[in-house]
Structures are given as structure tokens and as C-alpha cells.
Structure 1
Amino acid sequence: MNSLSLRQILAGAAFAVAAIPALAQGSAAPLRLIVPTAPASGADLIARAAQPSISKALGGRTVVVENLSGAGGVAGTTQLVRAAPDGNTVAIISVNHALNAHVYKKMPYDSLNDITPITGLGSIPLIMLVNPLNTPVKDARELAALLRDKPGQLNYSSPGNGAAPHLAARMFTEAAGVDVRHIPYRGTGPQVTAVINGDVAFTVISASGARGFIDAGTLRPVAVMSAKRLASMPELPSIVELGYPSAQAEAWFGMVGPAKMKAEDVAALNAAFVKAFETPEVRKAMDAQMNVIQISSPTEWAAVIRKDFDRYRGVIQSLGLSVD
């Protein structure tokens, strides 16, 4: 996700700043911020950390965070696309939005055409982990060698079929040319427990979820699934520098609204979200969650969504994944 250039920011500043009061004062209704995942999920923690700053950036307008989880984000996003495009309802989406259209046989909305991209906000880095006692490797390259020496004998876990960590791990096994079996679990907790118990050789989870296990020495990180190393974990090599660029994967997040929103409402909300995520409070919260802030314009954000929509279509089709 590319950052806005200074020229772009300055060019839109006058219009955006003028639009914020108009939207904030012109609508007595609260801003409904739909989180299509469960409480305490990554997207939920991001939304609630930013909630006060978003309200302040909108001139004190009330911001109501509403969790509508189910079907990998489909349930909550369905409510978003059915909302009036009046600037009163937005949703924070993750990379799962780009995946769901290819995982579910029947979708109640068009993932690209039934939304209005507002602001790309950042990414949630994914970390590949092993149990250092059962899988004594130091990085993903050594892990690939171990898996290659034991074809069909080892497993990896995920929080469920078609989830971003599952696809990231699968892209690694494809890039490494190894024969390893996928074991899907119901959520991150059982997924990680399987690694700790030695039931699987490795797994992929969010950096924020991995940090506690890494600090405790329970699990060892062998790669961050990004193009570059993390500032918070500079000693951990990226999957790209280890020689597997096709396995690069990040769980991005950002704000969208219903289709056919007015340009002035999009500009006002974009400016408010950008302002909120530039505050020290939100930056501190994102650092604590190990999220990477990467602000993008509506046009850039739309391109990111479409790029991964197209990219993951082939991956999911190769896996033969589908949910009725």
C-alpha cells in the first residue's frame, strides 16, 4: 500500500478540511462504524483504539462501533452495503474482504462494486512460527529444508480454511515446493495450541497475536510474511529476503462505505480517518498492536483491494476451497 505523497496531501487539504465540518455538523446521526469481526479481533481493537480520535477529527461527532461478525466478515459487510450511502455508515475491512468472494459460492454482494473505498489505513503483519523444541529451525529457509526432507509427514495449522494465515502458509509451501498437510482449526487459539503441543510443524498468525509467545520463548518466529522486516522485530527476516517473494502476504485494513457515496462525504471521511491515524494516541496503539500505518487515498485503496482480489482468486482456486 503506497503512502500519500506530500503533493497529494497538500492538493486535497483545502477541500478535505472544509468538508469535515460540513459532514460533522450537517449530520446529527452518529457515525456507525461496522466491525465485521468479533470483539477483541484485530479489526475490533483497531476500530476501538481509533474511535475517540475519529470522533474528535469529525468535530465531536459520535462514533458508534458495532460488531457484526459471521461468515468471515460477510455478515457485517452485508449490512454495510445495504446501508444508505449518506456518510453515516462505514466499515473497517481486512484482506478477508478480497478473499471471501472466491471462498463462498454465494455472496450477498459484489465485493468490488457494492462498496466505496474511503481510506486505506495500514497492515497487520503476519508471522510464521514454529515450536523450537519440536521443529528446531531458525528461519523459513531451514523450515523448508526440513519439510522437504520429510515429504507428507508434517503438518501446519490455520484458524480455518480460506483465512489469510492459511493462504499465507499455503503460498509458502508452494513457493518452497514442499509436501505438507494443512490442518484447519476453529480460531487462532486452537491453531496456536497445535504448534505448542507439537501436533503441527508450523503456523502463521498476526504479529500482535504472536508477540506474547515469542517473548515467552514458547514459539520461535522464522519469518515475517512481508516484503520488509518489521521495525519492532528487526532481527526477524522477511519471507522475501529468504527467497520466497511469491509467499508475501499482509492482512491490510481500511475503511469503506456503501456504494454510490457522494464525493464530498468520501473526502470528509477520508480526511478525518487520516487525521485520526496521525495522532500520537492512535500511533501508540497501533505500535502496541504491531500494526503498520500506511495511509492511502480512496483511489489507491481501491487499487489495493482489487489487486488482492485478483491475486487470491488463483490461490483459492488452486486449493479447491469453497464454502456453501
Structure 2
Amino acid sequence: MPRFSLDTALKCRAALAAAAVGVLSLAPLAAQAQAAFPTKTITIVVPFSAGGTTDILARVVGQYMSKDLGQTVLVDNRAGAGGNIGTQAVARAAPDGYTLLMGTVGTHAINQSLYKKLAFDPVKDFTPLSRVALVPNLLVTNPSQPFKNVKEMIAYVKANPGKVTFGSSGNGSSIHLSGELFKQMAGVDMQHVAYRGSAPALTDLLGGQIAVMFDNMPSAIGHVKSGKLRPLAVTTPKRSPALPNVPTIAEAGVPGYEATSWFGLLAPAKTPAPVVARLNASILKALADPEVKKKMAEQGAEPHGEKPEQFAEFIQSETAKWGKIVKQSGATAD
């Protein structure tokens, strides 16, 4: 059996002690790195095309956060598969707070019921930061259409079953399901046309290729104010302050109708608590800023900030709610 001298033993002991000190020193360094967050550019991934509501809200909030955090906040549009492509990219990103997702009711409450297989888990793969806004959907039509209100629209669709088209930002999106809910409750037959985002659907609506759309208000309101689109109703229980003269769908002829979209920021799962706290604080500051509030109000969006745990609970309740609507509509993306 080999023997060690006292000198060798002391050297080994000293080496082990040095290694232990090195390991222990990593914890303070990691903590310092988190405390210094952020030290580089932050990217907000928008899983839909540029020009839509998700994109608009990300840019409004991101611009303020950039000032507050002292770092550039970029918006990266990664559209496709009902928001799943961009969402999956964030789920696989490093959990360091530098890659965020502007999630929606679609990506985090609808898609897991709509798709049989997802390459990510909307709950387990993300750390909720805060909701950003609640947004009415707005039923709009091209002015060339022969109906000027909801009752006239219902009568026209019933007289022309299957001929009236309604566009959406994608199969199973909140915009699509708002239309499906309308079809069920109004007892009408309309043809759904899915697009890769709200912006291309709006382009075709403006061009007369489709008849109507249940779009998120921020992306449609500019065209309404310019007279290029005719507003018929909002999908929320109450009228929107942004368009006070536009009735709710419930008021206009479909009692009990309600569909609201929401948007919120999330980080990859296992993002360090200090980083989550810093990002949450920045989001809440942004949503309390008068200029941000003004910009959102002009778009018909209502700022809504909250703590991460509140957002997590909300996502769970919304998943149950929209799961039932998906099942009842028979919508599927597979």
C-alpha cells in the first residue's frame, strides 16, 4: 500500500482548500452578475408578423424598458404556426433574462388545446413576468360590404350562407375563435380564412378580398379612424373608451357575447429570481408611465401590470376557459 509523507498530505490539503474557496467564490460572482443585470441588449421575441397588436405593444413597452434598464431592447418578429415558432425559440433560449417573449392568449392559453403536439410546454418552459395589456377585439368590415351594423350583417350572412369570409391572424388564434364564437351564438355560417398574422389579413380586408375580421383593436383602429374600415362592434362586455360610439356585440344583437385578448411578457423557465424581479419592476414602471398609457389608449389597449405569480395564476384560468371554446368550436391546427 503506498505511503504519503506529511509534506505530501499538507500539499493535498492546501490544494483542496484552494479548490473549495474557488467554488465558493462563484456564488458571489453569480449574484453580482444578476445584480448588475442587464449588461447587454435584451430581445423581445414577437411570435407574429410586424404591424399586428402583439408587435405594437412589444415596441411601446420595449421602448420604455430600454430607457429604464439602460440597455437596448430589440423586437424580433418570428411568425408562424399560430405563434408556436417564436414561442418555442424563447422556451429554448438561455434563462438569463436577455431573451423574452411577448406571449398572448393564443400562445399560452389556446394553442395547447388546439395542437395535439407542441415542442414546448406553455407552463413548465416559461417564467411569467407580467401581463401587459387587455385588448378588445373589434369587428370590422370593408366599407364596400352591404351591411352597416351587426344585425344587418347577421341577416346578410343568413341570406348568403358560407359566402361571407372572415379573416384571422391564424387558425385557432383568439381572432379566429372570436369569429367562431360569433358564428355559434348568432347562428350564422361564415367561411374562415387564416393568415400568418394580423397585418396580412388586414391588407386583404382593406383590399376587399375578405369581408370582415374580428381583429385586435390596436392593429385595426388606425384604419377605422381614417375611414378605410367600418367598425361594427367590440367583443368586450363594455364599450371601449377609444371608440365610445361603437357598440358591443352583445348590445348590437348577440346577447351574452364576450371575447377579450390579452398580452404579457414571459422569460424562459429557471430565469433567476433577481432578474425576474428586475424585469417585472421595469414592466410595471412602463405601464404606469403617462406616455405609455396614452399610446396604449390611442390603440384601444388597457394597460394591466401584475406580479409574476398573479400572471401565472391567470394563465392557468385562461387555459381552462379557452380549452372549452376550442373543443366546442371543433377548431384544430393538426
TM range (shorter): 0.7 to 0.9
Q: Map of 1:81-160 to 2, 5 A cutoff?
A: 81-97=91-107, 98-138=109-149, 140-160=150-170
Q: Is the 8 A contact 1:151 1:179 kept in 2?
A: yes
2:100 partner amino acid: V
2:259 to 249, 255, 260: 249
Distance 2:188 2:141 in 1: 16
Q: CA deviation at 1:185?
A: 4.5
Name the structure 1 match of 2:20: none
Question: Does 1:208 pair with 2:218?
Answer: yes
Q: Is the 8 A contact 2:52 2:197 kept in 1?
A: no
Secondary structure of the structure 1 residue equivalent to 2:223: helix
Q: CA deviation at 1:101?
A: 1.7
Larger relative contact order (CA 8 Å, sep ≥ 6) = 1
Q: Is the 8 A contact 1:196 1:218 kept in 2?
A: yes
Identity of counterpart residues, as a percentage?
35
1:53 to 64, 76, 84: 64
1:74 to 84, 89, 97: 84
Question: Does 1:259 pair with 2:269?
Answer: yes
Alpha-carbon distance change, 264 to 170 in structure 1, aligned in 2, over 3 angstroms: same
Secondary structure of the structure 1 residue equivalent to 2:36: helix
Secondary structure of the structure 2 residue equivalent to 1:105: coil
Alpha-carbon distance change, 175 to 24 in structure 1, aligned in 2, over 3 angstroms: farther
1:114 partner amino acid: D
Secondary structure of the structure 2 residue equivalent to 1:135: coil
1:174 to 166, 184, 198: 184
Q: Which moves more between the two structures, 105-114 or 300-309?
A: 300-309
Q: CA deviation at 1:235?
A: 0.6
Q: Is the 8 A contact 1:35 1:69 kept in 2?
A: yes
Consecutive unaligned residues in structure 1, runs of 5 or more: 1-20
Alpha-carbon distance change, 109 to 234 in structure 1, aligned in 2, over 3 angstroms: same
Distance 1:39 1:193 in 2: 13
Q: CA deviation at 1:293?
A: 1.0
Name the structure 2 match of 1:298: 308
Question: Does 1:313 pair with 2:323?
Answer: yes
Alpha-carbon distance change, 189 to 75 in structure 1, aligned in 2, over 3 angstroms: closer
Distance 1:84 1:189 in 2: 30
Distance 2:154 2:225 in 1: 24
Distance 1:31 1:220 in 2: 38
Alpha-carbon distance change, 68 to 310 in structure 1, aligned in 2, over 3 angstroms: same
Distance 1:195 1:118 in 2: 35
Consecutive unaligned residues in structure 2, runs of 5 or more: 1-31
Secondary structure of the structure 2 residue equivalent to 1:273: helix
Q: Is the 8 A contact 1:122 1:252 kept in 2?
A: yes
Q: CA deviation at 1:43?
A: 2.1
Q: RMSD of aligned C-alpha atoms?
A: 2.8
1:125 partner amino acid: P
Name the structure 2 match of 1:36: 47
**Across the two proteins, how many residue pairs are aligned to each other?**
302
Alpha-carbon distance change, 73 to 24 in structure 1, aligned in 2, over 3 angstroms: farther
Alpha-carbon distance change, 23 to 64 in structure 1, aligned in 2, over 3 angstroms: farther
Name the structure 2 match of 1:227: 237
1:41 partner amino acid: G
Q: Is the 8 A contact 1:24 1:61 kept in 2?
A: no
Alpha-carbon distance change, 189 to 296 in structure 1, aligned in 2, over 3 angstroms: closer
Q: Which moves more between the two structures, 143-152 or 291-300?
A: 143-152
Distance 1:163 1:183 in 2: 12
Secondary structure of the structure 2 residue equivalent to 1:295: coil
**Larger gyration radius, structure 1 or structure 2:** 2
Per-residue CA distance 1:109-134 (angstroms, 9 max, x = gap): 11122211111111232110234543
1:128 partner amino acid: L
Name the structure 1 match of 2:278: 268
Alpha-carbon distance change, 100 to 309 in structure 1, aligned in 2, over 3 angstroms: same
2:167 partner amino acid: S
Query: So what's the TM-score if we normalise by structure 1?
Result: 0.80
Distance 1:186 1:36 in 2: 10
